[in-house]
Chain A
Amino acid sequence: AQKVTQAQTEISVVEKEDVTLDCVYETRDTTYYLFWYKQPPSGELVFLIRRNSFDEQNEISGRYSWNFQKSTSSFNFTITASQVVDSAVYFCALLLLGGKLIFGQGTELSVKP
């Protein structure tokens, strides 16, 4: 099966807390790419990061960081010192070789002041 599972449907935190969004994927491909997209209340899908299956180096971009662990098929996303503007639905996605993007169910993050 080729699928993405985001087990956390909703997360609620208070501003300045750190929060980690989990993503577990399944694929039979040896080469694949993983993505995170953000969907704010306005509805658009905003690309955040891409990671390929050969690059397990973790990445940090400002308050965002990503932890890719091939051994556990996970690609988790951490927001440090969360802000109200981080409130959105976050989607993890798997790019298949044919170019099709498979999305997880999404995690709705609510950051309260």
Chain B
Amino acid sequence: EPEVTQTPSHQVTQMGQEVILRCVPISNHLYFYWYRQILGQKVEFLVSFYNNEISEKSEIFDDQFSVERPDGSNFTLKIRSTKLEDSAMYFCASRGQGVSPLHFGNGTRLTVT
């Protein structure tokens, strides 16, 4: 069964450094998402992406964040200058046409020290 893949599974970075989290959505999916889950808390929406542009973003998704679909398969989340509070699990998700469930990757655990 096709799945969403995320790399790396765990990233440790120093405060102020840039990180890029990578995702390969399911190949025929059209809608892409990033979510964040701070340890022990609920899963929070960051951004949705469709037709090569951001369709919606949350208040969390400030100027430090950006997303890109550089080619036909990858979908990346960049955090320009990481802060301690960016430490969380970041989930990529994709879905197909119509009302279909979001399929999530296994997540990237980001630790900012």
Chain A residues packing against B (C-beta within 8 Å):
33, 35, 37, 42-45, 47, 50, 52, 91, 95, 98-106
Q: Is the interface of B mostly helix, strand, loop or mixed?
A: strand
What distance in Å separates the Cβ of A37 from its nearest Cβ neighbour in chain B? 8
Binding site for A on B (CB under 8 A): 31, 33, 35, 41-45, 48, 50, 55-56, 89, 91, 93, 95, 99, 101-107, 109
Q: Within the complex, which residue of B55, B101, B109 is in contact with A35, where a contact is CB–CB below 8 Å?
A: B101
Residues of A with C-beta under 8 A to B95: 99
Question: With a CB–CB cut-off of 8 A, which chain A residues contact B35?
Answer: 101
CB atoms of A52 and B99 under 8 A apart:
yes
A4: nearest residue on chain B (CB-CB)? B42
Q: Can you name 24 A-B residue pairings with CB atoms under 8 Å?
A: A33-B99, A35-B101, A35-B102, A37-B104, A43-B106, A43-B107, A44-B105, A45-B104, A47-B101, A47-B103, A47-B104, A52-B99, A99-B48, A99-B95, A100-B33, A100-B45, A100-B48, A100-B56, A101-B35, A101-B45, A101-B102, A103-B43, A103-B44, A106-B42
Q: Kindly list 6 other residue pairs between chains A and B, CB separation below 8 angstroms, not including A44-B106, A100-B56.
A: A35-B102, A45-B104, A47-B104, A98-B48, A101-B35, A101-B45
